[in-house]
Structure 1
Amino acid sequence: MTSVVSATIAAAATATSAVASASASVDPQDQSLYGMTPNLAFNTAMAAIFGVLFITQAVLGLWTRQWWFMVSFLIACGLEVAGYVGRALSHNDNTDINDYLLQFICLTIAPVFTMAGIYYQLGKLIEIYGHKFALIKNPMLYSYIFMGCDIVSLIIQAVGGGMSGSAAADYDNTATGDHIFVAGLAFQVASMSVFLFLWFQLAYQIFVATRIQHAGLSRPRWSLTSISQLELDYLYRPKFEFLRIHPQRWVFIYFPWALTFSVIFVFIRCVYRVIELAEGWGGDLITHEVYFIILDALMMSLATTILSVFHPGLAFKGRSVKIPIKSASKVEDSDHGDDVAGSNYSSEGYRDKEIEQRAPLPKPNFDSPSVASSMQQNREVYI
């Protein structure tokens, strides 16, 4: 995992220098680099907001021992703070190339680190609910594949930025380099689209398909929403039952929703950036700050705030529970022969130190006449 972080930072640094070259195509002589003047109050407020979020993530990360998530979000929040400081400084001088590059570079690459922290949480949910629900049976591949895509995206942006910078230095047309730079952002949006598809597939299997199976139906119905997660827990991985329902906690129950909305907000922001830069340095989106306020600043601040309230360290009891991410085959080996009540949790790092381990809920006996009759009644209700 450390090597992946290093590769991401290295690619981001390369893209940073290249974007600086690309931005040289904007003539800083006696004209605004933005096509407008950034609002001082707004950008100062955003720098303060992300400063508070930085401190919040640091405190929660240290307290809950969520090292990967903490580092990823601290880098993202730090970049956001630096970016908005650059925009605030540009209010007094919107022709200063250094302030312009500071905000452009930092705000462009910050979502890469936001998503890096989010990707890893998908693997944890697969461990908690069960590998059988995921299309990719090795949860770590979600992190490796999509972080790899983000690195490729940064490299493409670096190549395009370098070409634009070279062309600008020679007073040539920068269109080719600009198009390659936009293609790098578009590649990031495409990879996030795939990630959203895999996440929605997993959520469907965990929260919808299980209800269909429990009710004995063949297709979804709105009436299935009356089935509680407590009733479905026998269909999930027994090893983490203590984390899901002993006791039921609102931060865990709503965490999948929080993760969903956070990814959607980042996705909206990335789509906006692609369209913005596709229009060119003088397009309507890039020269009107209201679009930036709604589609970039608001989206990223909401995504970060949601995952500060529904922090994975709180949802997964990170201070007292460890959730090692394994491939499906290793999970089958480790789960085989385990006592259902969790006698092997402490040896594998699963035991919740804060509460006494409870016995799991009994699985319904579908061969029992009374249970079969009850299931038949459920089918009639849901039909």
Structure 2
Amino acid sequence: MSSLQVTSAVPSAAAASMSAAMASASASAVAEAAENYSLYGPMNPNIAFNSAMAAIFGILFILQALAGVWTRQWWMLVSFLCACALEVIGYVGRSLSHDNTSDLNDFLLQFICLTIAPVFTMAGLYYQLGKLVEIYGHAFALLKNPMLYSYIFIVCDWISLIIQAVGGGMSGNAAANYDDTSTGDHIFVAGLAFQVASMTMFLFLWFHLLYQIFVVTRMQHVGTTKVSISLFRIPQSEIDYKYRAKFESLRLHPQRWIFRYFPWALTVSVLLVYVRCIYRVIELAEGWNGNLITHEVYFIILDALMISLATTIMTVFYPGFAFKGRSVKIPIQKDTGAREASDDANAGADSPTEALFPTEKELSSPRPASNRSSSFHSS
């Protein structure tokens, strides 16, 4: 080899060595940056708060299990146990993230579990609407088969869950490979938006039922077409003849505070979950660097507080206690005039058509004047 060749080979080797060193340094820098990158942005999950929430949902899990088994409310039992278990796992994931905000597994654990847990919460609540239709009477409901309330909205929840799972999986894989997660994020937001839309429809049907049970019955009782505050001075026991006679003992003998306030407790619980779901849609629509997702205070108020309060309320006002689950069976069945009339006759009603509220004629017929509330003043 000539001196010229040797001389030219030295710079080439040096250049190759320098390129390899630079590539190695770049790979190390990328690895170090990835290791130090926070999946939570500037926010670090508060370990005290998240550990406390894991403990709270652990206690609620135990209470729900005891109440469900004792009162034999199997659907509610399974739904809320799944919800509480997911909440516990999610908050454990957030607690673990406190010491390592770049761990993708802990991040996905908390994100997926805490996002889908309310799907199971609502599955338990949907079923209670059908029971109230059975207790008060099918004529109050828009859907004459109360099970449709459960079927329709539980199917909607599962569709939402599947969409969220697909979107979450796509985002997780993209994040693991340091790729763009926008496609998976959009799918995830679409799943949450679908859940909010189905809950909106449920709330419409729910408030319609409450209006029929507690307002329209009082208007018919006193023979008025105006809604006024005076209507609500009429005791619930005075309008009970408008309801289904078969379950009169459940409503009145004795009058129990847990049953009396159960519809309102259920309403508050659904609204709390609704607020949380709207927050999640807005949070994810802002993106991973948005103001909501990078400030834990919003998560604490609009997610943790909402779901924990909803679960606590439905633990205090447990359906099995409200409906006397150990001694009273409430089969949810499609409305048939013959079946409901037979139920009322067997319950001791003077007349099947007078005991309940099954016909359009009775919907427009006020109670005789002698039975009206003396405290009512039409306005």
**Is this contact kept in 2: 1:156–1:180, CA < 8 A?**
yes
Structure 1 residues 284 and 243: CA distance shift in structure 2, 3 A: same
Partner residue of 1:29 out of 32, 35, 50: 35
Instruction: Name 1:382's counterpart in structure 2.
Output: 378
> Which residue is equivalent to 1:97?
104
Tell me what 1:39 maps to.
46
How big is each residue's C-alpha offset from its partner over 1:295-333, in whole Å with a ceiling of 9 and x where there is no partner?
A: 00000000000000000000000011110000012xx33
Conservation of the 8 A alpha-carbon contact between 1:122 and 1:142: yes
* Aligned equivalents of 2:175, 2:93: Cα separation in 1: 23
Select which of 296, 299, 309 maps to 1:289. 296
- Say whether 1:48 aligns with 2:67: no
Q: C-alpha separation between the residues in 1 aligned to 2:39 and 2:176?
A: 17
In the other structure, the counterpart of 1:335 is: 340
Residues 337-361 of structure 1 deviation map (CA, whole Å, 9 limit, x = unaligned): 44646279xxxxxxxxxxxxxxxxx
Unaligned runs of 5+ in 2: 1-32, 357-361
TM-aligned CA deviation for residue 41 of structure 1 = 0.7
- Which residue does 2:268 correspond to in 1? 261
1:214 aligns with 2:211: no
Q: 1:32 Cα shift?
A: 1.3
Residues paired across the two proteins, number: 334
Aligned equivalents of 1:241, 1:116: Cα separation in 2: 27
Give, in whole Å, the separation in 2 of the partners of 1:371 and 1:167.
70
What is the Cα deviation at residue 157 of structure 1? 2.2
Q: Structure 1 CA distance, aligned partners of 2:173 and 2:106? A: 21
2:373 and 2:162 map into 1 onto residues whose CA distance is 57
Q: Secondary structure at the match of 1:285?
A: coil
Query: Are the structure 2 counterparts of residues 238 and 114 from structure 1 closer, same or farther at C-alpha, using a change threshold of 3 Å?
Result: same
Residue 372 of structure 1 is matched in structure 2 by 369
- Residue number among 292, 298, 317 corresponding to 2:305 in the alignment: 298
TM-score, length of structure 1 as denominator length? 0.82
1:100-119 matched pairs, under 5 angstroms: 100-119=107-126
* Alpha carbons 1:86, 1:103 under 8 Å: kept: yes
Cα distance, 1:166–1:309 mapped onto 2, change above 3 Å:
closer
Structural mapping, 1:1-383, within 5 Å: 28-35=34-41, 36-164=43-171, 173-329=180-336, 332-338=337-343, 340=345, 342=347, 371-372=368-369, 375=372, 381-383=377-379
**RMSD of aligned Cα (Å):** 2.5
Is the 8 Å Cα contact of residues 28 and 96 (structure 1) preserved in structure 2?
no
Residues 1:102 and 1:219: Cα distance change in structure 2 (over 3 Å): same
Distance 1:282 1:226 in 2: 52
Any idea what the Cα deviations from partners look like across 1:100-125, whole Å, max 9, x if unmatched? 11111110110000000001000000
> 2: CA distance between counterparts of 1:120 and 1:374?
34
User: Partner amino acid for 1:229?
Assistant: Q
Listed one character per residue, the Cα deviations across residues 158-185 of structure 1 (whole Å, up to 9, x for unaligned) are 3334444565577654323321221111
- 1:174 and 1:319, CA in 2 relative to 1: closer, same or farther beyond 3 A? same
Are the counterparts in 2 of residues 212 and 224 from structure 1 also a CA contact under 8 Å?
yes
**Cα distance, 1:55 vs structure 2:** 0.5
Q: Report the CA distance shift for 1:373/1:238 in structure 2 as closer, same or farther (over 3 A).
A: closer
How far did 1:97 drift? 1.3
CA distance in 2, matches of 1:232, 1:48: 44
Q: Distance in 1 between matches of 2:373 and 2:80?
A: 49
Tell me how far apart the structure 2 counterparts of residues 163 and 88 of structure 1 sit (CA, whole Å). Answer: 24
**2:238 touches 2:373 (CA, 8 Å); kept in 1?**
no
Q: Tell me if structure 1 keeps the 8 A contact 2:243–2:355.
A: no
Aligned position for 1:4: none
Change (3 A) 1:266 1:104: same
The SS at the match of 1:41 is helix
Q: Which moved more, 1:178-187 or 1:310-319?
A: 178-187
Give 1:96 deviation, angstroms: 1.3
Structure of greater Rg: 2
Alignment deviations for residues 105-146 of structure 1 (CA, whole Å, 9 cap, x no partner): 110110000000001000000000000000011111111101
Deviation, 1:371, is: 4.4
Measured in 2, the distance between the counterparts of 1:110 and 1:273 equals 12
Gaps of 5+ in 1: 1-26, 345-361
